[in-house]
Structure 1
Amino acid sequence: MHPGQIDVNEITGYWTFLLSIDWKDPWLIGLILVHIMTTTTALLSRNNSNFQVFLFLVLLLAVYFTESINEYAAQNWSSFSKQQYFDSNGLFISTVFSIPILLNCMLLIGTWLYSSTQLMVTLKTAQLKERVRRERQNKADSESTAKHVKAE
């Protein structure tokens, strides 16, 4: 077995797979920081929907190209990593790259749904206030008309 490779027989489940990853590898730390920055950006830009749509599309493009990224990383792993993690099934890249990105996409969608709900509540409240104002105005108009009719 080549140095820097994990014996496949040692991995019996997803948890052991996660434990077998060297999380102190500098590029993995950088990737985790990128995911944290992406999540922070998604949360801080909640009032800028145009930017969020752009971020959402960029994230989906990154997930779309995951297979190509995995192939490239599998061929060039020794230039940036201590171990060869990039298998043909894509378990590793899905775990450390695609899943966090898709969770960020879900966060963006959740933010949009929450904003839409708040907007609908605001709109319905304004509609109800307008209806009450119109009813009061109509009632006041009909009372003033009734007073004018009595006075004549």
Structure 2
Amino acid sequence: MEEMQAAVTAHLDQVSGLVQALSSELRRGMGPAADNLRAFVRAIDWTEPWLMCLMAFHVVLLLTAVGFRRNANLQLFLLFLAYSGVYLAEKMNKYLEEHWKSFASRNYFDRSGVFISVVWSGPLIFISVVSVVCSLIALCQLMVKWKRAELRHRARLARDKLD
């Protein structure tokens, strides 16, 4: 019994330490994260043609996802495309790290893949979330339409029974 009590006390001390660490991080606020984000954005030359084309690609893909939100087959294709792009990001990062001189002024492609995650995978995941939300909205509308048709059918059957 004493061993169990000692284990629970040790666990509670560990949890207390974690809560205190989290509390101190939260008290510091979002300042360090915002500073890191600003430094990241400033470190990139956003006027490079390949980065502008990449941003344009993401905008076109997002507009396609929103514009064709009622087309379930296209939404599924966009999801497949987006998730395939995220899946291949690591291999793309390795390839681009080796061949960056042919298209970029600086090597943005680090081994940890932070850059490709931010400019490639992040927007693709966002687009896939938009696509899923659009699909869920369309599904909810279809369910409402189906239920109304079912209720009309039941009312018609009940009316025919009375006649």
The two structures share one fold, judged by TM-score above 0.5: yes
- Measured after TM superposition, the shift of residue 42 of structure 1 is 1.3
> Aligned partners of 1:101 and 1:92: how far apart in 2?
14
Other-structure match for 1:29: 52
**What whole-Å deviation, never above 9, does each CA across 1:6-32 have from its counterpart, x for those lacking one?**
xxxxxx612211221111111100000
Task: Give SS of 1:115's match.
Answer: helix
* Residue identity in the other structure for 1:93: I
Q: Percent identity?
A: 36
Task: Give SS of 2:99's match.
Answer: helix
Task: Give SS of 2:70's match.
Answer: coil
Other-structure match for 2:153: 130
Other-structure match for 1:16: 39
- Measured after TM superposition, the shift of residue 85 of structure 1 is 0.9
Larger Rg: 1
Q: How does 1:3-152 map to 2 (within 5 A)?
A: 13-139=36-162, 141=163
TM-score scaled by length of structure 2:
0.74
> Aligned partners of 1:19 and 1:63: how far apart in 2?
24
Q: State the superposition RMSD in angstroms.
A: 1.3
- Measured after TM superposition, the shift of residue 129 of structure 1 is 1.5
> Aligned partners of 2:157 and 2:45: how far apart in 1?
68
> Aligned partners of 1:75 and 1:85: how far apart in 2?
11
> Aligned partners of 1:127 and 1:90: how far apart in 2?
52
Q: Which structure has greater helix proportion?
A: 2
Structure 2: gaps (5+ residues): 1-34
Say how many residue pairs are matched.
129
**What whole-Å deviation, never above 9, does each CA across 1:34-81 have from its counterpart, x for those lacking one?**
001111111222232222212211221111010011111111111111
- Kindly report structure 1 stretches of 4+ aligned residues shifted beyond 4 Å: none
* Residue identity in the other structure for 1:28: L
